[in-house]
Amino acid sequence: MNEFELIRKYFTRPAPNALLGVGDDAALLQVSEGNALAVSTDMLVSGTHFLPDADPFLLGHKTLAVNLSDMAAMGATPRWATLALALPEADEPWLEKFSAGFFALAQQYGVELVGGDTTRGPLNLCVTIFGEVPAQQALRRGGAQPGDEVWVSGTLGNAALALAHLQGRIALSGEEFAACAPALHQPRPRIALGLALRGIASSAIDISDGLLADLGHILDASQSGAEINLASLPVSSVMRAYVKLPLGERCVLSGGDDYELCFTAPVARHAEIIGIGARLGLPLTCIGKIVAGSGCIVHDAAGNRLNLEYGGYEHFR
Ligand code: ADP
Ligand code: MG
């Protein structure tokens, strides 16, 4: 099968919301009136972001999910995507499952694949996603103000705990692993939350590199500091047993791959945010507050300041 047959068979689907989709030298996209185009790219590299034997259906899901997560964090509605692929070979059973996982999630969020690039090479998956948001309502990193509350969605650390198990750094029971693995393999982008937070959150980011690292980006951009409470961080019932161990604590504070949202909002919005969580069926937890200064201070349940020597995942450290 040549490159063009492969593209036709696995990556060409109708794109009614694009002026022109796959097949020409470029796609043509028209943003709705009053909206800015939100553009983001995320690449998954074999051996760095996933294990080479990863399930191709789940990989198709995750390749798009991590990009949708950036739209969520921006408060944008995802509309279109492009997909650049380097493949070691045209493995049809693999491609079948990968594209099924990709399109299942794309359909769920109304995202159309409008182009890409396909080449031979070490497995590498790169999506660029295009969404829409009124420019003034975009959830940027730089808007947090001292006094604002800091929130996170869902629970923290399950993806890192599942990864620690796969890497043999901890031994979870079959039941525990089954409960954590979806966070690692099938993250659910918080699109509905991002949209609901327009006009409410003062800043937002998605947690891809761990809470401390990603909250740190909000703090840097907002020229502020934060104080958070370890005991208030939302964890799953599985994580509750591990968070007292150094590895568990580390998963919660700086484990990557959770793809929950971390956001800030004025205290006056507290009740509204609780209401959004109830409406979406997604726990939203206030974990601390923004303060003047810089950096993030973490307190334990007794109010003692933790001395943390770790941050988030960094590729070149
Ligand atoms: P060009 O040589 O102009 O770059 P290509 O041969 O790379 O064109 O691609 C042909 C068409 O197929 C283009 O419209 C391109 O966007 C699309 N395409 C290529 N690879 C993919 C892919 N993996 N997924 C979706 N569309 C793709
Ligand atoms: Mg090309």
Who lines ligand 1 at CB under 6 A? 7, 11, 22-25, 83, 85, 113, 115-118
Residue 312 has a pLDDT of 60
What Å distances lie between residue 300 and 233, 297, 306, 307, 317, CA to CA? Answer: 11, 10, 7, 10, 28
Residue 311 has a pLDDT of 62
Residue 14 has a pLDDT of 96
Residue 153 has a pLDDT of 98
Residue 310 has a pLDDT of 64
Residue 174 reports pLDDT greater than 80: yes
Residue minimizing CA distance to atom 7 of ligand 1: 117
Residue 304 reports pLDDT greater than 70: yes
pTM exceeds cut of 0.85 = yes
Residue 315 has a pLDDT of 61
Q: Which of 22, 24, 82 has most ligand 1 atoms within 8 Å of its beta carbon, as the pocket-test mutant?
A: 22
CB 71 within 8 A of CB 114: no
Q: Which pLDDT band, with edges at 50, 70 and 90, does 138 fall under?
A: very high
In 34-92, the DSSP E strands lie at 36-45, 77-87
Residue 37 reports pLDDT greater than 80: yes
Q: Which ligand is nearest to the CA of 103?
A: 1
Residue minimizing CA distance to atom 1 of ligand 1: 25
Q: Which ligand is nearest to the CA of 116?
A: 1
Mean pLDDT, rounded, for 86-113: 97
Which residues make Cβ contacts (< 8 Å) with residue 69, sequence separation at least 6?
Answer: 187, 189, 190, 206, 208, 259
Mean pLDDT, rounded, for 92-97: 98
Q: Which ligand is nearest to the CA of 82?
A: 1
Residue 26 reports pLDDT greater than 70: yes
Residue 313 has a pLDDT of 63
Residue 51 has a pLDDT of 86
Residue 179 reports pLDDT greater than 90: yes
Q: How many other β-carbons are positioned within 10 Å of the β-carbon of residue 126?
A: 18
Mean of the per-residue pLDDT values of the chain: 96
- Report the alpha-carbon distance of residue 273 to residue 201 in Å, rounded: 9
Type of residue found at 57:
F
Residue minimizing CA distance to atom 11 of ligand 1: 23
> How many percent of the chain have pLDDT more than 90?
93
More confident residue, 256 or 81: 81
Mean pLDDT, rounded, for 77-98: 97
Q: What is the pLDDT of residues 141-156, one digit of tens each?
A: 999 999 999 999 999 9
Ligand 1 atom index nearest CA of 24: 14
Mean pLDDT, rounded, for 219-238: 97
CB 185 within 8 A of CB 58: yes
Which of helix, strand or coil describes residue 52? Answer: coil
Which residues make Cβ contacts (< 8 Å) with residue 176, sequence separation at least 6?
Answer: 238
Output the CA 135–ligand 1 centroid distance in Å.
30
Which of helix, strand or coil describes residue 85? Answer: strand
Residue 316 reports pLDDT greater than 80: no
Output the CA 225–ligand 2 centroid distance in Å.
44
Residue 314 reports pLDDT greater than 90: no
Residue minimizing CA distance to atom 8 of ligand 1: 25
Residue 220 reports pLDDT greater than 80: yes
Q: Which of 96, 103, 118, 124 has most ligand 1 atoms within 8 Å of its beta carbon, as the pocket-test mutant?
A: 118
Q: How far is CA 159 from the centre of its chain?
A: 11
Q: Which pLDDT band, with edges at 50, 70 and 90, does 308 fall under?
A: confident
Output the CA 121–ligand 2 centroid distance in Å.
14
Residue 162 has a pLDDT of 97
* Lowest mean pLDDT segment, chosen from 95-99, 172-176, 238-242, 310-314: 310-314
Ligand 1 atom index nearest CA of 3: 6
Ligand 1 atom index nearest CA of 84: 23
CB 292 within 8 A of CB 223: no
